[in-house]
Structure 1
């Protein structure tokens, strides 16, 4: 009995010593921690980008200040609401797009920031494949057409109606043009907002208007039908 007790005690002590000797503590290096923070926080809003996709200058002066503001940290001298109207500011504040309280500590943000800037390049190499994108067309010949004299053209929509053989063209300046081959522009239509799409039915044409083309929190888009040389809103956002 005594021998059995001694054997059990010896086995227990050996097991404990073996466990202590084999136990290792994983040390997280600063760079790894910065990457983990980058992935954890950035993927809550969008797919994670790689730091190498943009230059240090763009990350530092443009992207990181915006990212930080969306997590409740404001860079000195940076106003995330700059350029917004009073109405847009009210919408942003009501939706808490800029959090009232930071969702990340300044210490962790600094680690995230350092990781990005350390891995971002000073410049991005030119993709030389893009240089050959404008090779001469072989299937058909290009022919320039005159729509109007506004420059730059800023086309927002382009759709062909096969029933009437008419090309519908919308632009940033709240204009819609109809164009036919051999005839040119056959109609100019004023819209309240830039048209970004057209839907055709046998007796009617419908416009999808985007509101403001630049990013905005305002709900100013509409779905309109074309009547008497004018777009009449049916649905508004």
Structure 2
């Protein structure tokens, strides 16, 4: 072999080695960028809520909807930011809390790692029609805007409220008992009277104020009485509230006077508050959680110490279920029972013994799809979380249901097993319209047979209640329709139901 050939071989080897080193450096740099993007996401996307994995949404939704919204919150410099939005940032002296390069890497991490589309739900279509109920329709107006429904079994009444600030009461045959103008849009009524027996009613009603997302404090809470004629008398208790959705009356400090818990859902601003009664119609507000999104609360003595504890579902960004243990003397300690990603869209929960072991479990739904990620999500649906003791809850069952808004556990067919009635406000209307209303018939263990009704597509079901409205020994169901003349709902002139009464005929 000549010296020239040896030199050429050495030169080739050197070139190969050089490019190999360069390749290793480039690959390592790319790997570092991916790692850096993930680290940035972990840093910036888990300060206010549970870290959202890229797999929770598709690439397009991340890129076009969620990330731009998140960027505004982080003060990220975005080239496509609207001029007015940029001027708002400058006027408010908002600084860029993340550099342009870091933001670029964070966006790349999500758009690279996210799937092109989410997988479908892992269940068969719902084809069974239940024969447990006779469906009766009540049509009141062209565009039903039902915001609240409640069955009063003692008086055999149905309370129905809407966005028109009217509370109507119907008897069990759907004849109107009364028509009442409320102080605003009713989102909830909490009865302090025993609804199992007939008579006058007392309680507190919650007026959300402006229903659409806003931070104007136009909500209020009133104490009310309803006489035997169905007429509502209300007296204002609290006002200038941030979109309150629920109020509970309970003596939290054991001083024999009623306090109130307020779920001030809000928008960007909101809180969960205890209004401590100090007598003479005076109250001190104690904010237990200075965050928006509280949507549903229960009072339950979880540690059996004689003091009322509080369990709350939060559904705005920092989603989850939290326990506030009552320590006495006006002190509470917070325990995170469950946390959910911010794209879950938590909607409702109940404390109910699901496995007959004497402990209250959690029946939970998620399906709010009105925010930045309005796509079908395979993780929307009905969840069971079993009470394992020590304030620990574990997932035991999941039924996929797009847009699930509420689920209630009852033994509808009186066979000794719990059934689940559920509604969806955002079902897959194109491929699975049946999931707008689902009845899960309880079998052995956590085995359920799903049913629906043929009227499933006759409304956008926002609210629901279950109780024995006709005093025949079994629970009936009412589901309320909220339809807006903005492309969501019916065509002008159509007569669609304000609510459906599903009259149980199994008994």
Q: TM-score, normalised by structure 2?
A: 0.35
After superposition, the Cα gap between the structure-2 partners of 1:77 and 1:112, relative to the gap in structure 1 and judged at 3 Å, is closer
Q: What SS does the aligned partner of 1:64 have?
A: helix
For residues 126-165 of structure 1, what are the alpha-carbon distances to aligned partners after superposition, in whole Å with 9 as ceiling and x for unaligned? 2152732x74225x214132141232x3432222223322
Q: Does 1:44 align with 2:36?
A: no
Q: What SS does the aligned partner of 1:149 have?
A: coil
Tell me what 1:190 maps to: 181
Task: Tell me how far apart the structure 2 counterparts of residues 169 and 214 of structure 1 sit (CA, whole Å).
Answer: 20
Q: Does 1:124 align with 2:122?
A: no
Tell me what 1:86 maps to: none
Q: Which runs of 5+ in 2 are unaligned?
A: 1-27, 194-200, 226-230, 242-507
After superposition, the Cα gap between the structure-2 partners of 1:55 and 1:166, relative to the gap in structure 1 and judged at 3 Å, is same
Tell me what 1:216 maps to: 214
Q: TM-score, normalised by structure 1?
A: 0.70
Task: Tell me how far apart the structure 1 counterparts of residues 141 and 221 of structure 2 sit (CA, whole Å).
Answer: 27
Tell me what 1:177 maps to: 168
Q: Does 1:71 align with 2:79?
A: no
Tell me what 1:107 maps to: 101
For residues 10-63 of structure 1, what are the alpha-carbon distances to aligned partners after superposition, in whole Å with 9 as ceiling and x for unaligned? xxxxxxxxxxxxxxxx98621111111112111112111121221222111111
> After superposition, where does 1:18-167 map in structure 2 within 5 Å?
29-79=32-82, 100-129=94-123, 131-132=125-126, 135-138=128-131, 140-151=132-143, 153-167=144-158
Contact 1:206 1:224 in 2 (8 A): yes
Contact 2:223 2:235 in 1 (8 A): yes
Structure (1/2) with the larger helix percentage: 1
After superposition, the Cα gap between the structure-2 partners of 1:150 and 1:128, relative to the gap in structure 1 and judged at 3 Å, is farther
Tell me what 1:12 maps to: none
Deviation at 1:168, TM superposition (A): 1.4
Contact 1:157 1:170 in 2 (8 A): yes
Structure (1/2) with the larger strand percentage: 2
- How many matched pairs? 198
After superposition, the Cα gap between the structure-2 partners of 1:218 and 1:182, relative to the gap in structure 1 and judged at 3 Å, is same
Contact 1:147 1:177 in 2 (8 A): no
Task: Tell me how far apart the structure 1 counterparts of residues 123 and 220 of structure 2 sit (CA, whole Å).
Answer: 40
Q: Which runs of 5+ in 1 are unaligned?
A: 1-25, 83-88
Task: Tell me how far apart the structure 2 counterparts of residues 131 and 193 of structure 1 sit (CA, whole Å).
Answer: 40
Tell me what 1:17 maps to: none
- Higher Rg of the two aligned structures: 1
Deviation at 1:190, TM superposition (A): 2.5
Deviation at 1:187, TM superposition (A): 2.2
Deviation at 1:67, TM superposition (A): 0.3
Task: Tell me how far apart the structure 2 counterparts of residues 47 and 209 of structure 1 sit (CA, whole Å).
Answer: 30
Deviation at 1:185, TM superposition (A): 3.0
Deviation at 1:93, TM superposition (A): 10
After superposition, the Cα gap between the structure-2 partners of 1:41 and 1:229, relative to the gap in structure 1 and judged at 3 Å, is same
Task: Tell me how far apart the structure 2 counterparts of residues 80 and 47 of structure 1 sit (CA, whole Å).
Answer: 31
Task: Tell me how far apart the structure 2 counterparts of residues 165 and 64 of structure 1 sit (CA, whole Å).
Answer: 50
Contact 1:147 1:185 in 2 (8 A): no
Tell me what 1:207 maps to: 205
Q: Does 1:234 align with 2:237?
A: yes
After superposition, the Cα gap between the structure-2 partners of 1:80 and 1:43, relative to the gap in structure 1 and judged at 3 Å, is farther
Q: What SS does the aligned partner of 2:223 have?
A: strand
Task: Tell me how far apart the structure 2 counterparts of residues 169 and 144 of structure 1 sit (CA, whole Å).
Answer: 15
Task: Tell me how far apart the structure 2 counterparts of residues 74 and 135 of structure 1 sit (CA, whole Å).
Answer: 52
Q: What SS does the aligned partner of 1:204 have?
A: strand
Q: What SS does the aligned partner of 1:113 have?
A: helix
Task: Tell me how far apart the structure 1 counterparts of residues 139 and 70 of structure 2 sit (CA, whole Å).
Answer: 41
Q: What SS does the aligned partner of 1:177 have?
A: strand
